[in-house]
Amino acid sequence: MFARVRTIENLKSYLEKSVSEQEELLAKMDKAREDGHLRHFLSSNAAYLQALTVYAHESARFLSFIAEEREAEGGGSVTDEAKLNIVREETQRRVINLNMRLTSRSTSLSANQDEDAERAFWIELYQALNGGY
């Protein structure tokens, strides 16, 4: 049974997973390069690495937002609950916006794959925040 992201701690561990998975995969790629097996590594991991890079990039952005001390409008600092709400709102906005970009595919495979990974990231995060993941 998947857990739903309900607290800022849940969110942090959800996001940190992508960052650490990317680091692990990059370490595997470095090892494959050293051993002269980059071809084998890429035949099974090329698309996965690109998707993880997008996931890790977006996750790292949120993680630094969560870690940052921010001043609230009425004074004091932004609470964890308020930060979680900001993430929820941005995620919802992104998911809605993604549906409006369906007709603007690039002619570049890399760019399309990047966009698909971004789409998957936001949908997964939305599902995690709303329905469990």
Residues 6+ apart with CB under 8 A from 50: 110, 113, 114, 117
Q: Which of 17, 33, 70, 101 forms a contact with other proteins (CB under 8 A)?
A: 33
125 dihedral zone (left: phi>0; alpha: psi -120 to 50; beta): alpha
Nearest CA among 54, 56, 71 for reference residue 111: 54
For the bound state, the minimum distance from the C-beta of residue 91 to other proteins, rounded and expressed in Å, comes to 19
Residues in contact with other proteins, shown as a per-residue x/- string from 71 to 90 under the rule CB under 8 A: --------------------
Closer residue to other proteins (CB): 32 or 82: 32
Write out the E strands in 18-87: none
What is the DSSP code (8-state) at residue 2?
Answer: P
Residue 53 sits in the site that holds other proteins (CB under 8 A)? yes
Asked if 110 interacts with other proteins (CB under 8 A), we say yes
CB of 121 to other proteins, least distance (A): 12
Tokens 């969560």 -> residue: 66
Binding site for other proteins (CB under 8 A): 26, 33, 38-39, 42-50, 53-54, 57, 108-111, 113-114
